[in-house]
Amino acid sequence: MTEPLTKNQQNLRGRSIDDMSIEQLRDWIDACTKMENWVGAKKARRDWRLGREAASAELVRRGDSR
């Protein structure tokens, strides 16, 4: 089964959230949510959740809390 990410979301993998634009951060948050629900391993779910939280915190830091 292939992962549920779009091409744009796949291209964000491995990038630093500091280097992402606001739109990319929103896309990454969506990707993290999708992957957290898709993966089976507990550690993988935790890693995706932490990634989403870090991206959300970065949005707040930049003053975009939508």
Q: Are 3 and 35 in contact (CB under 8 A)?
A: yes
Q: Write out pLDDT tens, residues 34-62.
A: 999 999 999 999 999 999 999 999 999 99
What's the first-to-final CA gap in the chain, in angstroms?
32
Structure tokens at 39: 């993966």
Q: Are 27 and 9 in contact (CB under 8 A)?
A: yes
Average pLDDT, the chain: 94
Share of the chain above pLDDT 90, in %: 89
> Cα angle at 33 between 32 and 39, to 5 degrees?
80
